[in-house]
Every structure is written in structure tokens, then in C-alpha cells.
């Protein structure tokens, strides 16, 4: 589990690498009662300008929620990313969201 924040608040998150053939298994993890109450986001590697036939599942929330997500992910064969790779993926996701948000701002100007 890794932390990200601006100093005022810190959110804990974990990012899993999911093979394309296992994408359907994501429903199993997000249907869990505790995990479903966390912030859940998926991104295809290509949407983050990365190579590979994988997707990334980011779950952000409470320690208990992340612990449960990791236990289920282990059963499903999802790979937990190490801190360095998770930070890189998290940064790419944040940049993508910032870009989308600024694009929406132009629509309403």
C-alpha cells in the first residue's frame, strides 16, 4: 500500500496489474462489500502511453479496504505493483485526469 497526497491529506492506494485475459475477474474484486466502498479505477496500459497487453486496477481508500482487495487480488492472480511502478502509474493517471478536467473547463468557457 502506498500513500499519495499534498500534505493536507493522504490517501492510501494499491495498484494491480491485470492481464487482458483476466479483465473479467475485476468484477469479483469490486463486488466485495468492503472493497466496493473504496475508490476504484481501471486504466488500459495503452491509454497511459505504455506498452503491454495489461490493464491497471487502482484501489484507493482505507487500510482495511486495501487489505481485503489485496487478499482477493492474490486469489485472482493479479500482480501487486512495487512502490516505484505504482507511483509511475499513479502519476500517469493523475496527469490524464488533470488533462481531462482542463478539457472540460474549455467546454464551459
Q: Whole-prediction pTM value?
A: 0.82
Spatial distance between the Cα atoms of 78 and 42, rounded to a whole number of angstroms = 13
Residue owning grid cell 484501489: 59
> What pLDDT is recorded for position 16?
98
pLDDT tens, position by position, 44-98: 999 999 999 999 999 999 999 999 999 999 999 999 999 999 999 999 999 988 8
Q: Strand, helix or coil at 102?
A: helix
Residue owning grid cell 487500510: 63
- State yes or no: pLDDT of 6 exceeds 50: no
Quick one: fold of 2-108? Alpha-Beta Plaits (3.30.70)
DSSP 18-60: EEGGGGGGHHHHHTSHHHHTSEEEEEEGGGGT--SSEEEEEEE
Amino acid at each position: 500500500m502506498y500513500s499519495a497526497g499534498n500534505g493536507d491529506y493522504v490517501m492510501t492506494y494499491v495498484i494491480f496489474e491485470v492481464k487482458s485475459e483476466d479483465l473479467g475477474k475485476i468484477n469479483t474484486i469490486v463486488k466485495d462489500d468492503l472493497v466496493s466502498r473504496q475508490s476504484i479505477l481501471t486504466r488500459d496500459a495503452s491509454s497511459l502511453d505504455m506498452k503491454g497487453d495489461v490493464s491497471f486496477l487502482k484501489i484507493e481508500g482505507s487500510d482495511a479496504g486495501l487489505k481485503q482487495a489485496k487478499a482477493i487480488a492474490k486469489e485472482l492472480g493479479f500482480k501487486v505493483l512495487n512502490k516505484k511502478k505504482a507511483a509511475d502509474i499513479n502519476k500517469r493517471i493523475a496527469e490524464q485526469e488533470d488533462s481531462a478536467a482542463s478539457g472540460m473547463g474549455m467546454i464551459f468557457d
